[in-house]
Amino acid sequence: MRGRTVGLLSAGVLAVGMALVAVTIIAENRQSGVQSRSTGVATVGGPFQLTGTEGQTVSEQDLLGKPSAVFFGFTYCPDVCPTTLFELTTLAEQLGSEADKLNFVFVSVDSERDGPAEMKQYLEAFDDRIIGLTGTAEQIDAVAKAYKIYHAKVPLEGGDYTMDHTASVILMDADGRFFGTMDYEEEASVMLAKLKRLISERVDG
């Protein structure tokens, strides 16, 4: 009987000890989770070097000082890209003079067909504040990787091809830190609210 009592007491002590360890682990995980969220903003975005529509070199440094709405696509895109760029154009109009406080950026993921001249001509249909950027395949791969953008060349019949790519607009603050996203076919009022908040707020460091 005594042995059984000692065993039960030992089991009880062990259970309490395990519970304390579990509480400690949970607390540490929560703390590390907060830390990972605060440092995680730096995982989207980063250094890049691309070419503007006038043939000029553009880097991430040129976008600092203003928040940015960055969209990756290509000029031969049949639906998602023109729709998104028209949405950005409408949002810029709705923002009025506040739109001047934002960088609207369109980065091509199609280095083969989208040179500076093609980008310039394509963007004539949209708000003239939209900055068009392109580059070599290596440069585009690098910036897409930095911004966590998926893109892939998809062969079509007859030797042609299209491009698969992430359809979200990436929002960055004035210091080049990740702020959030605007999703494809999101409500216009929601997107407008996000841009207004992006203009008025800064991500905590």
> CA torsion 165→170→174→175, rounded to 10°?
-70
Question: Cβ(81)–Cβ(116) under 8 Å?
Answer: no
| Measured distance CA(64)–CA(143) in Å, rounded | 16
77 is in an annotated binding site: yes
Residue 81 assigned ligand-binding role: yes
**The pair of three-digit structure tokens given for residue 204, joined into one six-digit string:** 């905590």
| CA dist 193 → 103, 156, 161, 181, 205 (Å) | 16, 39, 36, 12, 22
Q: Is 165 annotated as a binding residue?
A: yes
Q: Are 69 and 183 in contact (CB under 8 A)?
A: no
CB 108 within 8 A of CB 114: yes
Q: Which helix (H) or strand (E) holds 94?
A: helix 80-95
Residues 6+ apart with CB under 8 A from 97: none
The annotation places the binding site at: 77, 81, 165
Residues annotated in a binding site for Cu cation: 77, 81, 165
